[in-house]
Amino acid sequence: MEFMNEKEKFEAQGADYKPFLDALLSGNQMKCSQLTDEFLQHEPDVKLLYEEIYKKSLYAVGELWEYNKISVATEHLASAIVESLLNKLYYRNLAHVTPRKKTVIVSCVQNEFHQIGLKMISDVFEINGWNSHFLGANTPTTELIHYAKLINPDLIAVSLSIYFNLPNLISMVHDIRNNFPELPILVGGQAFRHVGTDAFSAVDLIHYYPDLMSTESYIQQFNT
């Protein structure tokens, strides 16, 4: 198939996500569910599933789409399959959680429609006992700020997947800071593979972590 060379490039990253990626690209949701169950039988930490299988597979799908190796329909179907699996795992993740009196708002920037990575971050917060308010894709900055004023969160986490939406993220961060001078802001997403964090160097209390594990370490430090 025409995307085979691109897939081989991603295999060099070392994680054994190729069977899951193959199932995603063929739209085989049942196989994806089976592979998820098999992974969790050997490694019960769902964060590793998210990071090593789901995230790497979706990054591969995103780049295959960017290089016109797969259609928009295939990319959308792959995203829908992973999102359905995340929803399936949600209650499993929270089975033995110790609640904490912490609240986070997690949101994509305006005109950003890729929310799966953000959903994984939201789950990590909830696994660590936080009350996560998942606003999802394409959230207008004015609405996010209005909602934040209603619930008074301890932190806001914002995701950016498409790098040309960076100006929207920069604007959102500055608007949040103008309204909440002391509120920590967590930024992340696939776009940061292509752009750095220099745009936020002059903004206090901005935190960037490249993966779920480092994000969880920050959350745990915040919990103490």
pLDDT at 6 over 50: no
Summarize pLDDT for 94-105 with one digit per residue, the tens: 877 888 999 999
**Which CATH superfamily includes the segment(s) 103-223?**
Cobalamin-binding domain (3.40.50.280)
Tokens at 206, concatenated:
């901005």
Residues 31 and 84: their CA atoms lie apart, in Å, by 13
Most confident by average pLDDT, 115-129, 160-174, 203-217 = 115-129
Give me the pLDDT at residue 223, please.
Answer: 79
Span 4-93 CATH architecture: Orthogonal Bundle (1.10)
Give me the pLDDT at residue 205, please.
Answer: 87
Contact 143, 179 (CB under 8 A): no
pLDDT at 144 over 70: yes
Residues 98 and 161: their CA atoms lie apart, in Å, by 31
Reported confidence tier of residue 57, pLDDT bands at 50, 70, 90: very high
Mean pLDDT of the chain: 89
Q: What are the domain boundaries of the chain? A: 4-93, 103-223
Give me the pLDDT at residue 10, please.
Answer: 40
Give me the pLDDT at residue 4, please.
Answer: 40
pLDDT at 11 over 50: no
pLDDT at 173 over 70: yes
The continuous run of DSSP H or E covering 78 comes out as helix 72-93
Tokens at 44, concatenated:
């019960």
Average pLDDT over residues 202-220: 89
Contact 110, 138 (CB under 8 A): yes
pLDDT at 196 over 80: no
Residues 49 and 17: their CA atoms lie apart, in Å, by 10
Residues 118 and 100: their CA atoms lie apart, in Å, by 20
Radius of gyration of the chain (CA): 18
Residues 89 and 123: their CA atoms lie apart, in Å, by 10
**Helices and strands per DSSP (H, E), number in the chain:** 10, 5
Give me the pLDDT at residue 198, please.
Answer: 80
Average pLDDT over residues 179-194: 90
Give me the pLDDT at residue 1, please.
Answer: 39
pLDDT at 9 over 70: no
User: Percent of the chain, pLDDT > 70?
Assistant: 93
Residue 4 exposure: Cα atoms within 13 Å on the Cβ side: 2
Give me the pLDDT at residue 121, please.
Answer: 95
Reported confidence tier of residue 27, pLDDT bands at 50, 70, 90: very high
Inter-residue long-range contacts of 181-187, CB under 8 Å, 24+ positions, other chains counted:
183/148, 183/153, 183/154, 183/155, 183/156, 184/154, 184/155, 184/156, 184/222, 185/155, 185/156, 185/157, 185/158, 186/121, 186/155, 186/156, 186/157, 186/158, 186/215, 186/218, 187/157, 187/158, 187/159, 187/160
Our measurement of the distance from residue 114's CA atom to the centroid of its chain's CA atoms, rounded to an integer in Å, reads 9
